[in-house]
Structure 1
Amino acid sequence: MMERSGEASETNAVYVYAVCRADEEPSLGGLTGVSGDEPVRSLSIGSLTAIVQTVRAADFTDEVWQERLTDENELELYARAHHEVVSAVAARFPTVPLPLATLYNGDERAGLALANESPRFRTALKRIAHHAEWGVKVYAPVAQSAARRAPEERPAEPGDRARPAPGAGRAYLERKRNLQSQREQRQADSLRVADAVDADVSRIAAASRRLRPHGSGAAGGQRVQVLNATYLVAEHRAAELALLAAGLRERTGAEIEVSGPWVPYSFVGEV
């Protein structure tokens, strides 16, 4: 996503990574950002601080950026560089990350535009201070092994086709209905587990978001993801989250993955 304030200058633009509430000058040495030509630096916007870098405007025109979006490898390099700067600052101060490729035409334009959004920044910073984002994923149990499935029918002999066993058709349909009922029951049970996990984790979280579950291919193998959620958790409750996840695994028998702590991208709102 690219945001601009007016047209970028012919030579340089100001790339904004994040806005933070810093009680001291951020130490940004060693960070190269998306461009190694100029240092990553701070820009005062009243009581808040923006983390910015001067970049070549020609590297971020709409045409260049749209082309970059089609190159996964290059786009990943920019995303990693952006995240590295945000993470370094967030490790020390409450930080609101801005979208990738947020650009303004000079420090003055950047300062004015960001200052206009300062109430929203302050609200977000207050919300996420001393909190981190944690991801929780729940997977449905793998389907029963072939050894535990209902035995398959004996292949029909050529002569059998003329002499079907009495009630064979009804028995086949009944087996099909039973299998369908079992699948539906497993799905319902998995969704109940997902809801229970979400409810328990939400009790220790300041905020939560349920995301669209990934498909089985993205989940890996034959696993089916039934919960893909992210939670804003206070730093002092991180150990409690780990213990809760372990207890939920034991109690439900579900496969539960916990990842984090992350910069709380999901809980800073649209800025």
Structure 2
Amino acid sequence: MSDLVTYVYAVARNADALAEPTAALKGVADAPVHLVAGTHDDALVFVASHVPAQDFQEDALKRHLEDLDWLEAVARAHHGVIEAVATRTTVLPMRLATVYLDDNRARDVLDGGRALFSERLARLAEHVEWGVKIYVEPSVTPDAPGPTPTADLTPGRAYLRHRRQQQSVRDSVYRAAQQAAERVEAAGRKHAADHARHRVQQGVLAGGAGENVVNDAYLVPRDRCEEFRAEVTHAADGVQGVRVEVTGPWAPYSFAMPPAGSSDAEEGACP
């Protein structure tokens, strides 16, 4: 096996327009970015780099994916390249750590997935992704009842009553969150071409105060971004205990898909 493999960031068109800007980019492992063109005259290309093979062999990759520092560095480089290319043309992002043995193998995959890649690029043209997260903050108690006197209760009964009151407060907050989610989704769908629901984030990934209860993505035409952001941001105004966070615009990560008949290479392992 060669000391280097081909790491692919995205599929794009307009190879002529991308050649000069991508030449100045650095990607994973600080490697220069280049274009791998297909054999058809349709300007379809992989945006790629040559990276150390030893880091992307199956066993090594499994270890690396448990190393948060390594994973963060790779993710930042991966997304940095995609976002830079997305300012020039429509991109179809590939999964993190998608690698092939060499440029020739990557070209074979590009040619083999040509129809699917072309269809997805056409669908994503002039669209961007917006992220929408909803958080609940149980410390905020919408319409919560006041404390119940417990002077005449035994310690055990007082404890049980307190727990019931706490549960009532949490139920109120989650009902408010459901109401907010319905409003936000209705506002988002007015402007979006597509909608994807992701697993809610927990712990350090949640990225903010409160509990993440909705983690969605919307594919929005560029000319409707301002309306989308304004309506979604304010869709839950007045709902206590709920916070809506809107981020973007991004390259359409959530609306990309792997080529048909993907192998272990498309899963991110070095074949």
- Distance in 1 between residues matched to 2:10 and 2:208, nearest whole Å: 37
Over 3 Å counting, the alpha-carbon distance change for 1:40 and 1:216 in structure 2 is: closer
- 1:20 CA drift (Å): 0.1
Over 3 Å counting, the alpha-carbon distance change for 1:252 and 1:175 in structure 2 is: closer
- Distance in 2 between residues matched to 1:258 and 1:98, nearest whole Å: 23
The correspondence for 2:127, drawn from 126, 131, 153, is: 131
Q: Hey, what does 1:40 align to over in structure 2?
A: 33
Q: Hey, what does 2:218 align to over in structure 1?
A: 231
For the pair 1:266 / 2:254, whether they are aligned, the reply is: yes
Q: Give the alignment's TM-score, normalised by structure 1.
A: 0.79
State percent identity of aligned pairs: 34
For residues 65-116 of structure 1, the C-alpha deviation after alignment (integer angstroms, 9 at most, x for no partner) is 2221121101111111111111111111111111222222222221112210
User: In structure 1, the residue corresponding to 2:2 is in which secondary structure?
Assistant: coil
- 1:136 CA drift (Å): 0.9
Task: Report which stretch shifted further, 120-129 or 136-145.
Answer: 136-145
The correspondence for 1:150, drawn from 146, 149, 164, is: 146
What are the within-5 Å matches in structure 2 for residues 60-209 of structure 1? 60-140=56-136, 142-144=138-140, 149-155=145-151, 180-181=167-168, 183-209=170-196
Over 3 Å counting, the alpha-carbon distance change for 1:11 and 1:259 in structure 2 is: same
- 1:221 CA drift (Å): 7.5
Alignment gaps of 5+ in structure 2: 260-271
- 1:188 CA drift (Å): 2.5
User: In structure 1, the residue corresponding to 2:237 is in which secondary structure?
Assistant: helix
Over 3 Å counting, the alpha-carbon distance change for 1:62 and 1:23 in structure 2 is: closer
For the pair 1:14 / 2:6, whether they are aligned, the reply is: yes
Alignment gaps of 5+ in structure 1: 1-8, 162-168
Over 3 Å counting, the alpha-carbon distance change for 1:179 and 1:60 in structure 2 is: closer
Measured on the aligned residues, the alpha-carbon RMSD in Å equals 3.1
For residues 126-182 of structure 1, the C-alpha deviation after alignment (integer angstroms, 9 at most, x for no partner) is 11111111011123354446xx752343446xxx97xxxxxxx7x998887676555
The correspondence for 2:25, drawn from 17, 21, 31, is: 31
- Distance in 2 between residues matched to 1:194 and 1:231, nearest whole Å: 14
Structure 2 contact 130–250 (Cα < 8 Å) conserved: yes
- Distance in 2 between residues matched to 1:245 and 1:121, nearest whole Å: 31
- Distance in 1 between residues matched to 2:7 and 2:191, nearest whole Å: 36
For residues 179-235 of structure 1, the C-alpha deviation after alignment (integer angstroms, 9 at most, x for no partner) is 655543442232122122112211210000122333477547762333221100111
Task: Report which stretch shifted further, 247-256 or 110-119.
Answer: 247-256
Task: Report which stretch shifted further, 218-227 or 261-270.
Answer: 218-227
- 1:238 CA drift (Å): 1.1
Over 3 Å counting, the alpha-carbon distance change for 1:220 and 1:231 in structure 2 is: closer
- Distance in 2 between residues matched to 1:216 and 1:85, nearest whole Å: 28
User: In structure 2, the residue corresponding to 1:258 is in which secondary structure?
Assistant: strand
- Distance in 2 between residues matched to 1:197 and 1:30, nearest whole Å: 40
- Distance in 1 between residues matched to 2:204 and 2:71, nearest whole Å: 23
- Distance in 1 between residues matched to 2:2 and 2:208, nearest whole Å: 50
- Distance in 1 between residues matched to 2:161 and 2:130, nearest whole Å: 45
- 1:42 CA drift (Å): 0.9
Over 3 Å counting, the alpha-carbon distance change for 1:208 and 1:173 in structure 2 is: same
- Distance in 1 between residues matched to 2:146 and 2:208, nearest whole Å: 23
Structure 2 contact 233–245 (Cα < 8 Å) conserved: no
- Distance in 1 between residues matched to 2:16 and 2:8, nearest whole Å: 19
- Distance in 1 between residues matched to 2:207 and 2:12, nearest whole Å: 37
- Distance in 2 between residues matched to 1:220 and 1:98, nearest whole Å: 24
User: In structure 2, the residue corresponding to 1:250 is in which secondary structure?
Assistant: coil
Q: Give the alignment's TM-score, normalised by structure 2.
A: 0.79
- Distance in 1 between residues matched to 2:138 and 2:182, nearest whole Å: 19
